Structure 1
Amino acid sequence: MNRFLLVLTFAFILLGFTACPPDAEVAPAFVEVEDIALSTNSGEGANTTAITEVWVFANNSFIGAFPLPARIPVARVGSTELRFEAGIRQNGISRTPDIYEFYAPITRNLDLQPGNTIDLGTLTTTYRTDAQFAFIEGFETNSSRVFTDQVVGEATLIPVQDVVRSGSFSGRLQLSTDDPLVELGTADPLSGLTDKRPYVWLEVDFRSTAPVVWGIQGNIGIEPVRLFDPGFQPRNEWTKIYFNLSEIIVRSTLDEYRLVLSALLPEGSENAEVYLDNVKLLYF
């Protein structure tokens, strides 16, 4: 089943429709999942997430995608392998639910009986062993800064401790009428992220009073190439978004590029602040 059909199935579930089970005579068992948490190892950064759904497969057959916390009907009897995949909202958009493939699937072998309920509580996932980190920026004192290439403006990302998502520090970017547009690029150029598979995502925790967009820039010969696509609007509370950068990287045809963030002072404002934390660029 392709991803388009999976998303259609997701939509019907949210609307309360239920597909006919493989055996209409079998009353479903129910499996409850409260949440999905992330466990990280050294070198993988903080364990912040924004997992909104669980995508469920029974013996490799797709059952559906369910908002968390979830009560999942499963029309199977006896020993059944259930696979749970963490679901996120691509680019923070509610109409683009997707499995986040960098999180490892969670499997449970359960003895299902019609009408019975099995409560699994909070499941724990990890990053897949083949997930690669191009960089992790947590703004902590024991790590080097990532976004140090000053593209436009004068402001920089400064580690601060007064507003933090996790750890001891976050990064703060300040905008003003004297410095209304700031663009910062990665210190080192990036390359080869799509060689094995065109699947590159950016994880960002942010709190901001200014909009920010993300993109890449580089050169083909002497011609500059700049492509910007996903971004976020101001939020008063810490928010996590998973940005899919695969398309703009492939479309750029650049062999080497820098990831760039562009922050703009809102019209009518005299100043604004952007706080970032746990910025991770992942690929396979």
Structure 2
Amino acid sequence: MKYPEQNNRSHLIGILLAAVAFSFWGCSKEDLESSVPGYLYIDTIHLTTDEISQGNNRAAFTDAWVFVDNEPLGVFPLPATVPVLDAATHKISIRAGIVENGIDALRSAYPKLVPFDTTISLLPNRTSAFQPRVRYLNSAQFVQLENFDGGSVSLESIQTNGAPIRISIAGDPNVLDGAAGVVDLDATQPSFQLATSDTFLLPTSVSSYIEMNYRCDVEFTVGVIVSSTGGTVSFNSLVTLRPTTTWKKVYVNVADLGGVQTDATGYKLWLSGTKPSSVSQASLYFDNIKVLY
């Protein structure tokens, strides 16, 4: 025997099943396939540069900022499999994402790069793999480049009795590629302060970045020395980077950290650090330094 509640429930379920069946019966095969997503697989994003005017192409892109038909789809950590709900032909735009200022939670689409644009036909339940290539904006201006491969160094010690910077010796297993700049700290010279020998200008109207590869036994600080109207000079610390046994790359947003001033007449890149007393010796390696806006 069925109770009234059961009869009502069975009747309702029957109506729902009929409605679902009718909706599918009324759909074409093309309609059903269009509701199945296609997928993009992005393993990494490559940087293309003119090495003479823009430095080398080493980058540390962490995320893909994906746009489909000019609409934002999301931010996807690399490598990424990206679902696109309508498996059809779409305009895909990829922006290379970075970690800013060495803070993992602070991520952005690097504004100094041209997005990668393409048109791709996606198939239902199929994955299309590609590796986007990006380049610097034509308007990007590089005011400092240093890869330590030319036999001279654009950084100089500005600290009395501070440790100097040297070019790595041939065969040094710690270098990244080519040569690197090295600072050695010990009991005699436990600290260092370096600055670029030439000054440069940074505008207030667009963002400025410092890019750098580094490997270090002790922490160090990246900053700028600012000369202002009236002859004042200020030392502005921007970020302090922790020791690392592997090479890393940092993107320092100079303006966001207060490094750009409206009354500035010139800037210099500034690197500094001190060996802890608990450490007898330490070395810091630098490479592929860029300052651009």
TM-score normalised by structure 1 residue count: 0.83
Q: How does 1:121-200 map to 2 (within 5 A)?
A: 122-141=131-150, 144-160=152-168, 161=170, 162=172, 163-166=174-177, 168-191=178-201, 193-197=202-206, 199-200=207-208
Distance in 2 between the 1:77 and 1:125 partners?
25
Distance in 2 between the 1:236 and 1:139 partners?
20
Percentage identity across paired residues of the two chains: 28
Partner of 1:50: 60
Give SS of 2:260's match: helix
Residues 63 and 158 (structure 1), Cα distance of their counterparts in 2 relative to 1, 3 Å cut: same
Distance in 2 between the 1:77 and 1:141 partners?
51
Residues 28 and 153 (structure 1), Cα distance of their counterparts in 2 relative to 1, 3 Å cut: farther
Mapped contact 1:211–1:266 kept (Cα < 8 A): no
Distance in 2 between the 1:128 and 1:252 partners?
24
Higher share of residues assigned helix: 2
Choose which of 73, 77, 83 in structure 1 pairs with 2:93. Answer: 83
Distance in 1 between the 2:284 and 2:175 partners?
12
- What is the deviation of 1:219? 3.9
Mapped contact 1:149–1:187 kept (Cα < 8 A): no
Query: Rg bigger for which structure?
Result: 2
Mapped contact 1:151–1:185 kept (Cα < 8 A): no
State whether structure 2 residue 285 is matched by structure 1 residue 275.
yes
- What is the deviation of 1:258? 1.5
State whether structure 2 residue 100 is matched by structure 1 residue 98.
no
TM-score normalised by structure 2 residue count: 0.81
Partner of 2:84: 74
Mapped contact 1:158–1:173 kept (Cα < 8 A): yes
Partner of 2:126: 116
Give SS of 2:264's match: coil
Partner of 2:28: none
Distance in 1 between the 2:102 and 2:292 partners?
17
Distance in 2 between the 1:76 and 1:100 partners?
28
Distance in 2 between the 1:119 and 1:219 partners?
49
Mapped contact 1:210–1:273 kept (Cα < 8 A): yes
Partner of 1:243: 252
Structure 1 unaligned regions, length at least 5: 1-24
Give SS of 1:205's match: strand
- What is the deviation of 1:152? 4.9
Aligned length: 254
Distance in 2 between the 1:177 and 1:194 partners?
41
One-letter code aligned to 2:185: L
